[in-house]
Structure 1
Amino acid sequence: MKLIDKIDSLNSDDIKVVFKELVKDYFSPAFGSISKRDLDILLFIKLQKLKLISENPEIYELISELRVTRAKARSLLYESKLRQSTTKQLDEELIEIITNPIFLKDNDKIGLEIGNPYLIDYIKDKLKKINHITDGSFSPELIKLTPEAFEALFESYVPNESKTEILKILISIGAKEDTTLKGALKGMFKKLGSKIADKVGEEIGENIVDYLSLFFKKDGISKIEDKFKGIF
């Protein structure tokens, strides 16, 4: 169902609330003072609030539903995220993404598919702070990291209180390259990449989130050994 057709199914009370908000914003600081660009962004945010547009839409969804250019769709998504996203929300979104990496050919790069253009800038800044860079030349939505950059990013999101226990577990199942967590993760991802490249690892590749999300869940750490020991 097209966006314009969904409007008829909206709850009238929800429309009233959003319309009031829209009018108040349009009058701030004076009637008609808002620019066309800001009005577009405001309307876009209200459409999301009414759930006519999803919270994290794909670029093509916006192109199709709003009948705008790719550049316009990216701009709307970027600006809406800029105005609404908190650091906590960006970190949570990024953790979801790094638990579903793409091991590229020859394992020389690891890709992250990111539909949120504002998050791409956020991740670049995050990597810069830990002395790594990204390669965004492949496509606007797929950024490529060296294994070292991905490992550093992944390690930076592992809860500090869990790092010692996770390191002991990884070393016990043969993941170590040195005695640091970053080194243990390096060995783990090297094995994962090799496994996924083979047909034997297709199941792992299809369910990679089930493996990597354990590192960020309090009740997941105890499951890491059983889940990963077959990989080494």
Structure 2
Amino acid sequence: MDIRQVIEAADDGRIREHLIAFLTAFTQPAFGALPKREVELKVFELLRGIGAVDEKASIYSLMTDLRITRAKATQMLFDLEVRSHGGDAAKLDNAICEALRHTKFAKDGDYFVLEIESPLVLAHLRQRIREAGHVSDTSFNTSIVRAPVGAVADLISKLVPKDQHGNIKQALVAAGAKDDSFKGVLVEAFKSLGSKALGGAGDRVIEFAADKFLDPILSVACDAISEQWKSVFHEDR
């Protein structure tokens, strides 16, 4: 990281505002009173503010650019995210929806595998799955969540408006799903999609563009649901 190059390229007004914010925080309630951890967070905020660190930088980028451990990079992101929008459940739910739109399938189609960089969104996702009565697994990698299809079905039941469950179910049935409960139809749909995605992939976890199938459900776009899912149910039979 070349600090001089970053500062020389940055807007003077931007640097001034972020420097004022940093020095104000550092001198409150008195000069040097902030704990080391708070000082590091303020410096991290300053680096992001002046553009030395990309606000959307991955954990790996933070590790290499700042020469810190994965644990420290993760903790800094978590602390800042909690302070900025930790209490905004709706925003966190939207972040979960975005992660689901780019999910991957595990080998037998019975599990979803999601990679989520944001420590706060990851924690919120696991809490949502826990609230639905399921257990998620992050033992392989702390940024990767593995959850059963049933857990994802229950999760989506909580993320989309309850008064739209019937419409989504009808759209999936129209596309070829067997008429069942809302969760039952979702589970069948996801297993069918898993079979379509895997094909002859064997034991590998593969990347599969699920966005065109999951996005209509999360967006409650019923016409798109019926259209997109026809091929899934057709191929599964």
Please say whether Structure 1 and Structure 2 have the same fold, judged by a TM-score greater than 0.5. Answer: yes
Secondary structure of the corresponding residue to residue 188 of structure 1: helix
Corresponding residue number in structure 1 for 2:218: 216
Q: Is 2:102 the partner of 1:130?
A: no
Corresponding residue number in structure 2 for 1:95: 97
Secondary structure of the corresponding residue to residue 32 of structure 2: coil
Normalised TM-score (structure 2): 0.87
Normalised TM-score (structure 1): 0.88
Counterparts of 1:157 and 1:196, CA distance in 2:
24
Q: Is 2:226 the partner of 1:225?
A: yes
1:42 deviation in Å? 1.8
Tell me how many residue pairs correspond in the alignment: 225
Amino acid at match of 1:11: D
Q: Is 2:9 the partner of 1:9?
A: yes
Counterparts of 1:50 and 1:95, CA distance in 2:
30
Counterparts of 1:175 and 1:11, CA distance in 2:
56
| Structure 1 residues 15-164: aligned runs within 5 Å | 15-85=15-85, 86-164=88-166
Counterparts of 2:117 and 2:25, CA distance in 1:
28
Counterparts of 1:26 and 1:11, CA distance in 2:
23
Corresponding residue number in structure 2 for 1:166: 168
Query: Whose relative contact order is higher, 1 or 2, with alpha carbons under 8 Å and at least 6 apart?
Result: 2
User: CA distance change for structure 1 residues 229 and 132 in 2, over 3 Å: closer, same or farther?
Assistant: same
Counterparts of 1:10 and 1:154, CA distance in 2:
43
Secondary structure of the corresponding residue to residue 138 of structure 2: strand
- The Cα offsets for residues 135-188 of structure 1, whole Å up to 9 and x where unpaired, read as 111111111101111111122212234222111111122223x52211111111
User: CA distance change for structure 1 residues 163 and 51 in 2, over 3 Å: closer, same or farther?
Assistant: farther
Counterparts of 2:77 and 2:96, CA distance in 1:
16
Secondary structure of the corresponding residue to residue 91 of structure 2: helix
Counterparts of 1:96 and 1:47, CA distance in 2:
27
Q: Does the 8 Å contact 2:112/2:148 carry over to 1?
A: yes
Unpaired stretches in structure 1, ≥5 consecutive residues: none
1:199 deviation in Å? 6.3
Q: Does the 8 Å contact 1:98/1:154 carry over to 2?
A: no
Unpaired stretches in structure 2, ≥5 consecutive residues: 202-206
Q: Does the 8 Å contact 1:59/1:73 carry over to 2?
A: yes
Counterparts of 1:75 and 1:3, CA distance in 2:
24
- The Cα offsets for residues 17-36 of structure 1, whole Å up to 9 and x where unpaired, read as 11111111112222211111
Counterparts of 1:216 and 1:106, CA distance in 2:
23
Secondary structure of the corresponding residue to residue 137 of structure 1: coil
Counterparts of 2:216 and 2:55, CA distance in 1:
25
- The Cα offsets for residues 50-85 of structure 1, whole Å up to 9 and x where unpaired, read as 343333431111011111121211111111112112
Counterparts of 2:150 and 2:2, CA distance in 1:
43
User: CA distance change for structure 1 residues 216 and 3 in 2, over 3 Å: closer, same or farther?
Assistant: farther
1:3 deviation in Å? 5.8
1:191 deviation in Å? 0.6
Consecutive aligned runs of 4 or more in structure 1 exceeding 6 Å deviation:
none
Q: Does the 8 Å contact 1:57/1:115 carry over to 2?
A: no
| Structure 1 residues 194-209: aligned runs within 5 Å | 194-198=195-199, 206-209=208-211
User: CA distance change for structure 1 residues 209 and 6 in 2, over 3 Å: closer, same or farther?
Assistant: farther
Counterparts of 1:225 and 1:84, CA distance in 2:
38
